Amino acid sequence: MTTLEPTKPALGWATASRIAWRELRASYAKFLFVILSVAIGVAALTGVRGLSEAFKRTLMTQARSIMAGDLSARMFRQLTPKEAQQLDSLDMQGVQRTDATELVSMASSATDPVPLLVSLKAVDPAAYPFYGSVLLDPAGDFRSVLTDHTAIVGPDLLYRLKLHIGDTLRIGNTTLTIAAVVAREPDRMSSTMGLGPRVFITRHALENSGLLQQGSRAGERFLFRLAPNAPNVQKVRSRLEAILPEAQVQDFRQANPGLTRGLDNATGILSMICLVAMVLGAIGVAMAMRAHLAQRMDILAVMKSIGARSSDILRIYVLQTTLLGLTGGLLGVVLGIGVEKLLPHVLGLLLPITVATYLPIRAGLAGLLTGLLTTLLFCLPPLLDIRNVKPNLVFRRLVDEGASAAKMSFSARWKEHRAQWISVVIIVAGLCVIAWGLSDSWIVATWFTGGLGAILLFILAMTAGLLKLLRMLLDKTRLSLPSFLRHGLANLYRPGNQSKAVLSALGVGVMLILSVFLMQRSMIRDMQVTLGTGVPNIFLIDISTDELPGVRKLVAAQPGVIGAMEALPIINGRLTQLDGVDAQTRKDEKHFPRHLLQSTVLTWSDTVPNGAKVKEGAWWGPHAHGQVAVEQDLAKRLGLHLGSTVAFSVNDQLIPVKVAALIRNDGEHVNARSEFVLSRDALAGLPTVWYGAIHVAPAQVGRVQAALFAAFPTVTVINIADVIETIQSVVRQITFVIRFLAGFSILAGVVILASSVASTRFRRIREVVVLKTLGARRSRIAGIFAVEFIMLGSLAGLVGTVFANLLSSQLLRRMDVTFHGAWLADLIGILGTGLLAVATGWLASLRILGQRPLEVLREE
Amino acid sequence: MIEVRGVRKSIRNGSRTVDILKGIDIVVPSGQFVAIMGASGSGKSTLLGLLAGLDAPSSGEVLLDGIDISRLDEDRLAEIRGKKLGFVFQSYQLIPTLTALENVLLPHELNAHGDGKPHARELLTSVGLGDRLTHYPVQLSGGEQQRVALARAFMLNPPIVLADEPTGNLDSVNGQHVLDLLLSRNRDAGTTLVLVTHDPVVAALAHRRIVLRDGTVVADEVQA
């Protein structure tokens, strides 16, 4: 009876490591590209997340300074006497308070009558800020420099109004002397986002200006500092929330939740862009590993013929892949520190505070782990191919290569490639998990994985199609083409060339960058097109009822004003009840518009306002009582329908109304500001300011602004062109950041190209030897290579450009923005990628051109 | 005419220097068929590479029709190779992305003017591959590939043909066919033929047999 031999033990880890390491050391030049592929994505990710971590840490450590207090409460109306009394009583408990009023206004210089929109902040310099300090230029004490007769301004105001320190500034009814420039405002991030340069004045100066009137939309920020004997933060916070139920109350422990939330969202999105670069890098690693294993085929066959199992060999190459992933990841983390330091310069003014950068340990670990995981995931398919290497390949490799091309049934193909299909599923699932880990959202992760997978598949399909088309054209025309062109194009199909993968990787990078550019361009163009139409381009804010007839008359007399002025009465209130239920009880519902509980803009109209369309119900007649028309989408969010009852509070007065109509605004007229239009009677007698809207020929805007400011200095005039300019500059900055990060994808594509050239190095060298033997000069050989690389790059550019136009047009359509193509950018995308490919390819092939052929062969 | 004067070739292999050729002096008159023999590592393929200018001697000179090619730059060498030499490699070395016709046409496109296609077709027909013009190397057998390589080497009617073990990868039938083509070129066109081989049967067909051992010429005999 034959006894079974005991099972052979697996190849030891130590032996496997030794083999893996020696192989790596022997081909270190080849693996340099692999390491670089991994490092690029990891560097981008580490940089982004490192900066985000540093930003949050800065928010935490500087929380009190950023708030300028221990607690703050923000409202968009002035205190009632009762509220003021209640807040004053807190002082006796050790809770100090100082108020800051923030509003937009107009300011002008003596020399230039055209006023400038500014962000005004009125403070008590004796108390403000409770924490941090306002830095001035020239250096000085804020408390003594800011007086009732002076203003401290942002540097951009001096530039735009062509003023200097010591000049005067007219604000409302008062004139102040510019005493200094504000170099740093500690709580700028916590302030209301304003349009225009910052101007500090005292509270007394604000009163003198006449800008504040009942009903004005000034933002009131109440800052609190707790003395040692004061109640704890939470107790004071609860008290404030009770005194000011409609105010937004925060304390320093939250470190600006709105900003933190925004930062997390931005970090998540930017991390996804970095993940694209990482995925491309991992694809590059997989390609290099596949080429490496293909070259090692004979050795693998020999190993199997002397008894090694597939698992033994797999162990060696999994170790190798892990080592490469780790090395690339570590290099990426080091480079990421540099990216983290560079990003603040790229972000520019989008970053409102100076961030102290730390060693990004958490971000580095996340980057390293992500890099390693994506590398291992994408190398699964080529590693699994090791199982298919048969020992007899040592003798019959050429024969077997031909045999595998025979046709197989679907089930046979499935059986043969089952492991590959399963590895693809694992890759997709793994990528989804990684994306979730980076974005903290399953929805984002799923969309990202699905989207990227679909794009890669489509791009691969398109590149395969293009290459096939090119081959068909080449086959039909080859002998009529010049020899170098024919040879260069034919090289795209060189055995071992990974043209499809290189084209796809480069194409994705081009697609990303061009998509962002096209979307930015279209959004900005769309905004500018709006200016040119007949819709209002100048808005007048805070016109008092007494001023209204005078403003109308002045506007009508101005040249360049087209049509009559639209005017909208505005009453500030807040939402209190919905169908008899206290609205506060619904504030935690999903999509509930919580801001209405603090501040609601109400208006009245006897007829359907300009630009509004009644979608349901009917407008009321001249003697209507207690009716309201609600914007359709808002009604849906609030659960309102025709006949629902709503109550508002205005100056402690309850205003109950019934929903008579649901409307939709076109967003281009002044009444677009109000989502609730009431019947006149409901708001009669309440403090009212007016908003106006006029359409002025662009060339006359300055004159109209100057005339209005001269006659009505307390009326704020907003030129939509200025607003759009501000938004455009923010959009440009944001898209610059995105394009900077998308550039890492291009870099990954370039590395893949270089790696592909390196992996076919030996074939190229042999080809060069043959060509030189046949009499080809270096310029001829360089020309052949140039054709190959230009074609590769230009095709990648073409694929990327086509998809960029498709993707951005679809995304813009969903955003209701008109897509504007950019043929010049498309051309630069195609040609630029071609030139980049030529430069990369030549650099990677430089050495083999100048030397004697056999010298190079010997060195290889 | 080919002249080799005091040629030495050494290479660095890691930390040590290996002397492949240790002083070779040969003159090959025009029209002669020379077989260079020797065991593996004797330096015969290296010598052939030096004759083609694919490598540079460490010392000494190589002259082709009176021109010293030892110190010329690559472009000038390429020009001379194009005009004076045809080279046949042991492993065919066809460009895999070009068809048989395009491979044969290549020397003409690199070095001559006019339409070389008729001559290329004629050459391929003469080597028995008139029906394989549009086939890629991967679609041809070893013998067929070597015949394409021969046709390529003959394209510009070079006065000198160098062949490095041209039948080494072929079976006896194909090998004989290739040899016959080389011999007929030498016989009928007066082409100087220098052929590296380790096969004494092939060497016996040559006018002259040079034997190398350890980098030196140990025998140089004219055969009847």
CA separation for the pair A555, B220 (Å, rounded) = 112
The residues, ordered by sequence, that sit 6+ positions from A19 with a Cβ below 8 Å of its Cβ are A316
CA distances (Å), A239 to each of A224, A226, A576, in order?
A: 12, 13, 20
CA separation for the pair A789, A795 (Å, rounded) = 10
Hey, which residues does A74 pair with through a beta bridge? A221, A248
Task: Find the mean pLDDT for residues A172-179.
Answer: 93
Q: Can you give the three-state secondary structure of A595-639, one letter per residue?
A: HHHHCEEEEECCCCCCCEEEEEECCCCCCCCCEEEEEHHHHHHHC
Contacts B81 to A, Cβ<8 Å: 772-775
CA separation for the pair A669, B23 (Å, rounded) = 97
| Contact yes or no for A770 and B83 at CB 8 A | no
Both tokens assigned to A236: 């004071």
Q: Which of A494, A780, A852 sits opposite B97 (nearest CB)?
A: A494
* CB B192, CB B176: distance < 8 Å: no
pLDDT of residue A215: 64
Question: Per-residue pLDDT for A460 more than 90?
Answer: no
| Sequential DSSP letters for A327-390 | HHHHHHHHHHHHHHHHHHHHHGGGS-SPPPP---HHHHHHHHHHHHHHHHHHHHHHHHGGGG--
CA separation for the pair B150, B133 (Å, rounded) = 14
- Tens-place pLDDT, residues A262-279: 778 888 888 888 888 888
pLDDT of residue A255: 60
* CB A247, CB A599: distance < 8 Å: no
The residues, ordered by sequence, that sit 6+ positions from A595 with a Cβ below 8 Å of its Cβ are none
Predicted ipTM? 0.86
Q: Reduced to 3 states, what is the DSSP secondary structure of residue B87?
A: strand
| Residue A51 to chain B, least CA–CA distance (Å) | 48
Tell me how far the alpha carbon of residue A418 is from its chain's centroid: 40
Scored b (16 or more CB within 10 A) or e, A426-438 reads ebeebbbebbbeb
- Tens-place pLDDT, residues A435-451: 888 888 888 889 889 98
CA separation for the pair A833, A827 (Å, rounded) = 10
Both tokens assigned to A201: 């004045």
CA distances (Å), B191 to each of A476, B86, B185, in order?
A: 37, 10, 6
Contacts B106 to A, Cβ<8 Å: 483, 771, 774
Question: Per-residue pLDDT for A1 more than 50?
Answer: no
User: Is A187 buried (19+), middle (13-18) or exposed (0-12) by CB count in 10 A?
Assistant: buried
| Sequential DSSP letters for A115-147 | -EEEEEEEE-TTT--SSS--EEES---HHHH--
Interface residues from chain A to B (CB-CB < 8 Å): 478-479, 483, 486-487, 490-491, 493-495, 766-767, 769-780, 850-855, 858
Strands A645-650 and B192-196: unpaired
Q: Reduced to 3 states, what is the DSSP secondary structure of residue A95?
A: strand
Residue A354: band (very low, low, confident or very high) from pLDDT cuts 50, 70, 90: confident
CA separation for the pair A641, B192 (Å, rounded) = 103
| Contact yes or no for B55 and A855 at CB 8 A | yes
Question: Per-residue pLDDT for A9 more than 70?
Answer: no
Q: Which of A427, A407, A431 is nearest to A419 (CA)?
A: A427
- Tens-place pLDDT, residues A615-669: 999 999 888 889 999 999 899 989 999 999 999 988 778 999 999 999 988 766 7
- Tens-place pLDDT, residues B47-93: 998 998 888 899 999 999 888 998 888 888 888 888 889 999 888 88
B136 at A interface, C-beta within 8 A = no
| Residue B47 to chain A, least CA–CA distance (Å) | 12
Both tokens assigned to A51: 């900066």
Q: Which of A770, A772, A774 sits opposite B74 (nearest CB)?
A: A772
Both tokens assigned to A35: 């390491």
Q: Which of A478, A494, A854 sits opposite B55 (nearest CB)?
A: A854
- Tens-place pLDDT, residues B180-208: 999 999 999 899 999 999 888 889 999 99
Q: Say if pTM beats, i.e. exceeds, 0.80.
A: no
Compute the Cα dihedral for A462, A463, A466, A467 and give only its sign: negative
Q: Which of A490, A779, A853 sits opposite B97 (nearest CB)?
A: A490
| Contact yes or no for A775 and B54 at CB 8 A | no
Collect contacts of A346-351 with beta carbons under 8 A, ≥24 apart.
A346/A736, A346/A737, A346/A740, A347/A733, A347/A737, A348/A733, A349/A733, A350/A730, A350/A733, A350/A734, A350/A737, A351/A55
Number of helices and strands in chain B (H, E) = 7, 10
pLDDT of residue A214: 64
| Contact yes or no for A772 and B105 at CB 8 A | no
- Tokens 């390589």 correspond to B149
- Tokens 């009644």 correspond to A614
- Cis peptide bond upstream of A138, omega within 30: yes
Q: Reduced to 3 states, what is the DSSP secondary structure of residue A795?
A: helix
Q: Reduced to 3 states, what is the DSSP secondary structure of residue A674?
A: coil
Q: Which of A221, A197, A205, A218 is nearest to A67 (CA)?
A: A221
Q: Reduced to 3 states, what is the DSSP secondary structure of residue A430?
A: helix
- Tens-place pLDDT, residues A283-306: 888 888 888 887 788 788 878 777
Contacts A483 to B, Cβ<8 Å: 105-106, 109-110
